[in-house]
Amino acid sequence: MKVLLVNKFHYKKGGSETYYFTLAEALKACGHEVVFFSMKDAEHNLPCGEEQYFVSNASVKGTVRSRINMVMNIAYSKEAYRNMMRLLRDEKPDLVILNNIHRQLTLSVIDAIKDFDLRLPIFWTMHDFAAACPAYTMLDGDGKICEKCMDGNFGHCIENRCIKGSRLMGMLAKHEADFIRGKGLYDKVDLYICPSEFIMRMLQKAGFTKRKMVLMRNPLPLDTQYGLSSGEGDYLLYFGRLSREKGVRTLIDAAIKADCKLEILGTGPLERELKDYVERAGADKITFWGFQTGQALVDHIDGSRCVVVPSVWYETGGPYTVMEAMARGKPLIVSQYGSMPELVEHRGNGYVYNAANTNCVSVLADYIRKMFALTKDEYTGMAQRSRERAEKMFSAKQYICAIERYYAEYMHQAVNLRLSNEDT
């Protein structure tokens, strides 16, 4: 089977790109051919044989030309339609799997796919809330969780300045959302893949499509090192983006209150602010290590007591931070938001705390103390359950088997429909 993977970024930018490349490698390992469609980015993109089909760069943070391209084509890109059509004619894939495509690629690619071959199946892995929330994040301009646009009135995005605090960006996002709904593009997708029960419930509640949705948890890379570190560690670990919605400031306050060591790995818009805050607090037990990957990241995970994910927004799928920590047999402390309680069983392989509590710093500090107070047997039990859950939930081979099964079901239904039409 030849599979076309579509994503607006063709480099390892975040969790959705980790999934995109993990899926590609897993498909290849199972004997399938993979081709790509994405956006041009000479500075960041990984080498790709299909780069000739990629669309022009569009970004609000890019060059003047890139910003104009974003504004002019935010809802529908004729270039993406044409380039997708050329790729389809040349490559003739059997299946298309979409990932993040809004704004840069746009849903024009769906029109191109179905215009090329109405029977060519489209699966779409939902990494965010773009189909229900023009801001994608379910956060308003003040960084608070907001579900107002779930009613289909996307004007809330303008009123609450949900995108970069800008009414103009809100107007553009509303235009995009209204256009997509009005053109019925979501109903041209054949199957929606949801990486968590939480995002599936939220998207069903939004009612943006009547198409089938299925739960398929994101896979870990084939070369993931599953393990169970021998030591119990003497520090907390956070690794991920340093941004407001990740709740790192709350974790810092809780670590200070619990009087324990904390290592922070990652970069982001709040990096300087958080470092200054720690310095002013005189918190010498808190260390920033910058972005880490590969064996260096594994070593930090293995040496920790537990991994903490203090998010204050809806984590949609399986955050790779949680998944990677579980694979190394680490207990976790996570907030209750989004999909994380599906992965971390309270008192099973970690603790789930209420980050909406006005006293959340104290609540988190209490769970940190509990984690350090566990007996060796209690800690080992949590660690073993983490690894076992990871092996069961995030298998790349099982994921590809599910893709193959849903593809076979689609083709069977398509054949039956064709035979039925011929009979009539």
User: What pLDDT shows up at residue 225?
Assistant: 86
Residues contacting residue 385 through CB under 8 Å, at least 6 positions apart: 345, 348, 349
Residues contacting residue 53 through CB under 8 Å, at least 6 positions apart: 37, 83, 84, 86, 87
pLDDT tens per residue, range 47-94: 999 999 999 988 767 777 777 777 777 889 999 999 999 999 999 999
pLDDT tens per residue, range 259-272: 999 999 999 999 99
What CA–CA distance (Å, rounded) separates 135 from 162?
A: 6
User: What pLDDT shows up at residue 423?
Assistant: 59
Q: pTM for this structure?
A: 0.93
Beta bridge partners of 127: none
**216: nearest Cα among 350, 339, 387, 345:** 339
User: What pLDDT shows up at residue 417?
Assistant: 67
User: What pLDDT shows up at residue 390?
Assistant: 96
Is the CB of residue 170 less than 8 Å from the CB of residue 191?
Answer: no
User: What pLDDT shows up at residue 420?
Assistant: 60
What CA–CA distance (Å, rounded) separates 372 from 404?
A: 44
3-state SS class at 226: coil
pLDDT tens per residue, range 275-322: 999 999 999 999 999 999 889 999 999 999 999 999 999 988 778 999
- Is CATH 3.40.50.2000 correct for 235-393? yes
| Average pLDDT score, the chain | 93
Count of beta carbons in the 10 Å neighbourhood of residue 416: 10
In the structure encoding, which two tokens stand for residue 50, read together?
């299909």
What is the CATH T-level fold of the domain 2-220+397-423, as seen in this structure? Rossmann fold (3.40.50)
CA 232 to chain CA mean position, Å? 29
Count of beta carbons in the 10 Å neighbourhood of residue 293: 10
SS3 content of the chain, % helix, strand, coil (to 5): 45, 15, 40
What are the residue ranges spanned by the domains of the chain?
Answer: 2-220+397-423, 235-393
In the structure encoding, which two tokens stand for residue 283, read together?
């918190």
pLDDT tens per residue, range 148-188: 898 888 989 898 898 888 888 888 888 889 999 999 999 99
DSSP-assigned states of every residue in 306-371: EEEE--SS---S--HHHHHHHHTT--EEEESSTTHHHHS-BTTTEEEE-TTSTTHHHHHHHHHHHH
Q: Check pLDDT > 90 for residue 229.
A: no
pLDDT tens per residue, range 86-121: 999 999 999 999 999 998 999 999 999 999 999 999
User: What pLDDT shows up at residue 165?
Assistant: 84
pLDDT tens per residue, range 241-253: 999 999 999 999 9
2-220+397-423 and 235-393 share one CATH topology?
yes
pLDDT tens per residue, range 356-412: 888 999 999 999 999 999 999 999 999 999 999 999 999 999 999 999 999 999 999
User: What pLDDT shows up at residue 255?
Assistant: 98
Instruction: For the chain, give the percent of residues with pLDDT over 90.
Output: 75
pLDDT tens per residue, range 6-40: 999 999 988 899 999 999 999 999 999 999 999 99
**200: nearest Cα among 131, 246, 110:** 131
3-state SS class at 266: coil
